[in-house]
Amino acid sequence: MSEEQSQWLRILPSALAEGQGERAFAAIVRSREELSRWLRNPAPGLQWLQIEGLLGDSDAWIEAAHGDSGVPLDVVLADPASEFSDLYRLVDVCSVRSVRVTIRVAPGFSKAAKLAAALRLPIRLLPSQPTAEVLAELNELLEIYLHEPMVEAPVEFFHSLLATMSGAETGSLWSILEEDPAEFRSYDADGRALLPRSGVFGSAETSFEGFVEHHLESLVDRGAECATCPWQRFCSGYFKWPDPTYSCEGVKRLFSRVKAAADEIGRDLAGRVEAKTSAPNLTGSDSL
Amino acid sequence: MSGRVFSVILLPTSECNVACDYCFERKEPHRLSSALLPLLTRRLLDHLENERIEECEIYWQGGEAMIMGPSWFADAGAVMDRAAAQRGRRFVHYLQTNLISYSAAWNDVIREMFNGSLGTSMDYPNLHRKLFKGGAEGYTELWTRRLREAKAAGIQVGVIAVLHQGSLEAGPDRFYRYFTEELGLSDFQVNTPFPGGPAKEVEGGFQLDLTELAQFLVKLFNIWITRGYKSGVSLGPFDALIDHFTGKQARLPCIWKENCSNQFISVDSKGTVAQCDCWVTSYPDYFFGNIFREPDLTRMLKTSRARRDFVERPKRLVEDEDCLSCRYLSICHGGCPVRTYSALGTMMAKDPYCEVYKAVFACAEAHGREILRRDQQGRAPAQSDVGLAQSYAKAR
């Protein structure tokens, strides 16, 4: 498939995004000037702005709180443990446009996730290959996501995982987290396509379109735990990248908790349906 | 144009015609000049334009707003609304008054400018709202008469009640019956007291035991749910909390906003700008500037050092207090800056009513869950609807 015919969405540094015209793309902005430029004059193909390193700049958000263009924002927290309280700067912004918070999962990330949830902001967690410390935080956050009524907006990947466990078709974790290069392709400043989470450029040998399938096949061929993993279809080796030797034990326990919650919900809902259908009909033809 | 709404608590005078014990305002014989109103309007419209905001809510308060007279308001409303329309903006006016000066002469302006409604205040029992001559008893008698006259004229009246020790001693049942049965109101709200303004000897008398206060509010909440919720009685802030906990759009009071500095300011008759009426009447160190002397309100708000504390407060609270671990953070955000400042001398702390709020939130959550459970009976969600499934899981 040629670049012109491609269906994937390009995620490009701001300067490279100029001239994309109507082709679907997201622009990465890292300065107040870049943010202002895209808010004032968005190209037709612009899907959203991926904002990096600007959360602490209060002036940057003043223009974003004006709803002239309505361009959605994806605000990335690279260091969530130290940046989390700056999420309050987005309060005005999210009243005029869609704002999502992307949180790179690292120690202390749950502070940002809790505050973003309290501000009713949709969250995308990028878990990469979580350490034991971070897995503990993920479990704590999952508990909040599942049971606290204060969490109203979706927390990905929990939300789609729960949907999958409840029988919905959501696609793979790569796709949900917008890291499948067949659908979302990131480029560096020189226009070279990058493999996800690796900083490695795609090569002729690497098929971006079949990256996820190839990765999973390779893991299974090598005898990785994916071969027998019950969550293989949803995960597709997400947690075995870039290090294929990463142990998924903690992740699998997390998935099992979501599965248990989904099963419990399913049982309760089925019980309700059953109770409803077996209830006596007090208003129908019996009364004739 | 953004969907944001900006609000201004506008004090056309600091004068007042009554003498309430707990009033924190400096009562000065000063009134907003009609000659300055176009300038004030222009400054507000400039700000709305700068911020791409279409609608501005004007909350007319005092002092006592009715001291200005109905014809002053009719003229002021016309001047402001005409100027706003010329610039593609809109003012929506609200009136908060003690009702003491109300007469039929107000009816036209209340209907036309204030959409036929007004807000007023009364406590139960009334011990502290007093006429200069006639005391609390005279105040209650006169206010009740004015309330009945206004209602007879078809005006919708909402009442704010500030709780005090006498309210707690009377108990929530008598309190509720007073407003709903004796006064026949279907719209009132309860506020917690705070010792605003310069130090006064009487302040100590308004500090309530927080446990007693929480118990009172929870019982009042239960009474309202049982007798008023389904019968069209609106009791704030409980009604907004029920909206929130049943998944409806909720308009929570300003004390629980993410950041009140984003949403409103107060301007007094001299043009002083501050965060809200409590600050503009009480704390000169926290004035943002003067709207008549400074040509650009947007710039004033952006550069004011005093305002920075308000902007930064929620950030500081999630960093320094235990708010981040509170399950009610999303509907509280550390509470009210002025309640905090007047009690502790700093606003960089959480609201001293924290535990009271938590008790009320927990009560609202339990009622909300029960209402949802009842509403969901007989409705079978689709298995694949994860949003509904998630809501259901939380309602259990």
Q: Rounded distance, CA B26 to CA B198, Å? A: 9
Is B319–A85 a contact, with Cβ atoms under 8 angstroms apart? yes
Is B389–A146 a contact, with Cβ atoms under 8 angstroms apart? no
Interface contacts A/B by beta carbons within 8 Å = 109
Q: What is the pTM of this model?
A: 0.90
Is A150–B386 a contact, with Cβ atoms under 8 angstroms apart? no
pLDDT of residue B382: 44
- Chain A residue with minimum CA distance to B314: A88
Is B258–A168 a contact, with Cβ atoms under 8 angstroms apart? no
Distance from CA of A243 to the nearest CA of B (A): 32
Do residues B8 and B41 touch, judged by C-beta distance below 8 A? no
Distance from CA of B324 to the nearest CA of A (A): 7
Tell me the Cα Rg of chain B: 21
- Cis peptide bond N-terminal to A44, omega within 30: no
pLDDT single digits (tens) A112-149: 999 999 999 999 999 999 999 999 999 999 999 999 87
What is the CATH number that goes with domain B2-299?
Answer: 3.20.20.70
Question: Can you tell me which residue has the tokens 């659908």?
Answer: A183
Q: Rounded distance, CA A268 to CA A256, Å? A: 18
3-class DSSP assignment, residue A113: helix
CB contacts of A65 in chain B (<8 Å) are 2, 4, 51
CB contacts of B319 in chain A (<8 Å) are 85
pLDDT at residue A26 above 70? yes
Torsion angle, CA of B274/B275/B278/B282, rounded to 10 degrees? -40
pLDDT of residue A205: 59
pLDDT of residue B262: 82
CATH class of the domain whose range is A9-268: alpha beta
CB contacts of A264 in chain B (<8 Å) are 393
Is A67–B389 a contact, with Cβ atoms under 8 angstroms apart? no
Distance between first and last Cα of chain B: 41
- On the 0-12 / 13-18 / 19+ scale of CB atoms within 10 A, A279 is exposed
CA neighbor of A139 nearest in space, from A164, A163, A105, A173? A105
DSSP per-residue string spanning A142-204: HHHHHH-TT--S-EETHHHHHHHHTT-----HHHHTT--TTTEEEE-TTS-EE-TTT-PBP-T
Average pLDDT of chain A, as a whole number: 90
Kindly give the pairing relationship between strand B187-191 and strand A9-13.
unpaired
Is B390–A159 a contact, with Cβ atoms under 8 angstroms apart? yes
Give the residue with greater pLDDT, A68 vs A261: A261
Question: Can you tell me which residue has the tokens 């007093």?
Answer: B130
3-class DSSP assignment, residue B131: strand
CB contacts of B245 in chain A (<8 Å) are 149
Is A114–B384 a contact, with Cβ atoms under 8 angstroms apart? no
Is B396–A65 a contact, with Cβ atoms under 8 angstroms apart? no
DSSP state of A287: G
Is B390–A264 a contact, with Cβ atoms under 8 angstroms apart? no
pLDDT at residue A91 above 80? yes
CA neighbor of A85 nearest in space, from B333, B304, B256? B333
Is A85–B316 a contact, with Cβ atoms under 8 angstroms apart? yes
pLDDT of residue B286: 96
Distance from CA of B113 to the nearest CA of A (A): 28
CB contacts of B328 in chain A (<8 Å) are 150
- Chain A residue with minimum CA distance to B48: A66
Point out the residue among A86, A120, A262 whose CB comes nearest to the CB of B330.
A120
- Chain A residue with minimum CA distance to B396: A147
- Which of the residue ranges A63-72, A191-200, A204-213, A248-257 would you say has the lowest mean pLDDT? A204-213
B364 CB-near residues (< 8 Å, 6+ apart): B221, B238, B241, B242, B244, B245
Give me the amino acid identity at B24. Answer: F
Q: Which residues pair with B121 in a beta bridge?
A: B160
pLDDT single digits (tens) A210-231: 999 999 999 999 999 999 999 9
DSSP per-residue string spanning A200-266: PBP-TTS-STTHHHHHHHHHHHTT-GGGG-TTHHHHTTGGGSS-TT---HHHHHHHHHHHHHHHHHH
Give me the amino acid identity at A68. Answer: D
3-class DSSP assignment, residue A27: strand
Distance from CA of B287 to the nearest CA of A (A): 21
pLDDT of residue A5: 54
Distance of CA B37 to CAs A169, A210, B44, B68, B79, Å? 60, 68, 11, 13, 8
3-class DSSP assignment, residue A125: strand
Band (pLDDT 50/70/90 cuts) for residue A150 is: confident
pLDDT single digits (tens) A36-84: 999 999 999 999 999 999 999 988 998 899 877 889 999 999 999 999 9
Question: Which of B303, B330, B331, B375 best tests the A interface by mutation, with the highest count of A CBs <10 A?
Answer: B330
Question: Which of A71, A85, A165, A277 best tests the B interface by mutation, with the highest count of B CBs <10 A?
Answer: A85
Question: Which of A71, A87, A90, A91 best tests the B interface by mutation, with the highest count of B CBs <10 A?
Answer: A91
pLDDT of residue A282: 42
- On the 0-12 / 13-18 / 19+ scale of CB atoms within 10 A, A68 is middle
- H-run or E-run covering B267: strand B264-267
Q: What is the ipTM of this complex?
A: 0.88
pLDDT single digits (tens) A156-196: 999 999 999 999 988 999 999 999 999 999 999 999 999 99
pLDDT of residue B2: 61
Band (pLDDT 50/70/90 cuts) for residue A6 is: low
pLDDT in tens, chain B (396 residues): 566 789 999 999 999 999 888 777 777 789 999 999 999 999 999 999 999 899 999 999 989 999 999 999 999 999 999 999 999 999 999 999 999 999 999 999 999 999 999 999 999 999 999 999 989 999 999 999 999 999 999 999 999 999 999 999 999 999 999 999 999 999 999 999 887 665 444 455 568 999 999 999 999 999 999 999 999 999 999 999 999 999 898 999 999 999 888 889 999 999 999 999 999 988 999 999 999 999 999 999 999 999 999 999 999 999 999 999 999 999 999 999 999 998 899 999 999 999 999 999 999 999 999 999 888 775 544 444 445 445 444 544
Is B52–A66 a contact, with Cβ atoms under 8 angstroms apart? yes
Give me the amino acid identity at A285. Answer: S
Q: What percent of chain A is predicted at pLDDT more than 90?
A: 74
Is B394–A66 a contact, with Cβ atoms under 8 angstroms apart? no
